[in-house]
Amino acid sequence: MRTQVCIIGGGPSGLLLSQLLHNKGIDTIILERKTRDYVLGRIRAGVLEVGFAELMREAGVGQRMDTEGFVHDGTVIAYGQEQFRIDFTKHTGTPVIVYGQTELTRDLYDKREETGGNLIFNVDHVVINDADTDKPYVTFEADGKSQRIDCDYVAGCDGFHGVSRQTIPLTVRKEYEKVYPFGWLGLLSETPPVHEELIYSNSDRGFALCSMRNANLSRYYIQCPLSDSPSDWSDQMFWNELKRRIPEEHADKLITGPSIEKSIAPLRSFVSEPMRWGRLFLCGDAAHIVPPTGAKGLNTAASDIYYLYHAMVQFYADKDTEGLDRYSEKALARIWKAERFSWWMSNLLHRYPDQTDFDLKMQRADLEFLRENEASQKVLAENYVGLPF
């Protein structure tokens, strides 16, 4: 087989890149290790920056997002019984859109299938060969057969545990990592959201987040020890703990119900540099991870896709490699700012096992300053709605 761009990974990054390139007449093949249903079963992000939403529209997949997604003009930050609102639209002129990663990925799959996209599922033993030459090729197994794809470029969109990043030799690659000493236990339930906007809450029992997918689908998270597993938490235990971590005003209104999904995600900050090696380009979670506190993971994946898509169009239209040559530098400049924001917001809102009384006072002062200071609210708002591409 031959294609122009071989895309490893059929998550949101790989699918979006494939659809955008297809619209410009550039041919791709997507290799996905799992099935479509498996990918759609993963409950993940919920908040989209408008820059991302714009890219979805450009790909021709913004319709359902625009009718079913919720525009949020702000968010609530709580600490103990105190709470205040950050007004995104007032400070930046821009809201965010609440639309689940599951729905967005489904829209992308449907569009790729409708427009004749070549997606190969259940692939195994993917190997990226000769990425540092002019003739890269990818080998893999599917349906019990060894197969080979020759291509101009490889896009590594295969997430944190994929093979693409590992293809870059350790002599070239440098990794930066911070692992947080807790995780997020998430619960999805068919209940109305407790509030019309998200609530990020710092309580003395640990962090909590009230989020949503639609008018009758809520997503809640509580900080938990890394040693916990979802089966340690009955639904009732989860609801009781959540109520203790959010202001009473909301706890009293919380409508609970059976969980339809419950999982634990560890929190990590991670960046691998460079994001390009020869003809291999890393995108999204394959190159970087943020703790979910700032809702930046999927959004940083989208900004990589924005840069790579434009660079590839520039190359195929004009034989100009300037965008490709500067891809890693441009993508990383934006990534590190999202890393800083996610790290800062995580530090602001979580309880750490080794936090001293002094550290707690600093956290409280940070929250109070944010509450009182318009300039610092503007800084949060600008980062949350997304820095320009």
Residues taking part in catalysis: 72, 200, 292, 296, 384
- Of 381, 388, 359, 343, whose CA–CA distance to 96 is shortest? 381
Letters for 268-297 (x = contact with ligand PHB by CB under 6 A, - = none) are: ------------------------xx-x--
- From candidates 62, 69, 183, 284, binder to ligand RFL by CB under 6 A: 284
User: Which string of DSSP letters, residue by residue, matches 176-203?
Assistant: EEEEEEEEEEEEEESS--SSSS-EEEEE
CB nearer ligand PHB, residue 299 or residue 377? 299
Q: Which of residues 168-197 bind ligand RFL (CB under 6 A)?
A: 184, 186
Q: Amino acid identity, residue 320?
A: D
Does residue 158 touch ligand RFL according to CB under 6 A? yes
- Please classify residue 23 by burial: count the beta carbons closer than 10 Å to its beta carbon, then call 0-12 exposed, 13-18 middle and 19+ buried: middle
Does residue 69 touch ligand PHB according to CB under 6 A? no
CA distance 51 to 53: 5
Sign of CA dihedral 32, 37, 38, 41: positive
Q: Which of residues 39-78 bind ligand RFL (CB under 6 A)?
A: 39, 44-47
What are the E-state strand segments in 56-173?
A: 70-72, 74-79, 82-87, 96-98, 118-120, 124-129, 137-142, 145-150, 153-156
β-bridge partners, 270? 177, 289
Letters for 26-65 (x = contact with ligand PHB by CB under 6 A, - = none) are: -------------------xxx------------------
Q: Peptide bond before 274: cis, by omega within 30 degrees of 0?
A: yes
Does residue 105 touch ligand PHB according to CB under 6 A? no
41 alpha-carbon distance from chain centroid: 15
Does residue 202 touch ligand RFL according to CB under 6 A? no
Letters for 161-200 (x = contact with ligand PHB by CB under 6 A, - = none) are: -------------------------------------x--
Letters for 291-330 (x = contact with ligand PHB by CB under 6 A, - = none) are: -xx-x-----------------------------------
β-bridge partners, 271? 176, 288
162 alpha-carbon distance from chain centroid: 16
Q: Which of residues 95-154 bind ligand RFL (CB under 6 A)?
A: 101, 123, 126
CB of 98 to ligand PHB, least distance (A): 7
Helices then strands, counting H and E runs in the chain, come out as 13, 20
Site residues, ligand RFL (CB under 6 A): 8-14, 31-34, 39, 44-47, 101, 123, 126, 157-159, 161-163, 184, 186, 265, 284-285, 292, 295-299, 301
Site residues, ligand PHB (CB under 6 A): 45-47, 198, 209, 211, 219, 292-293, 295
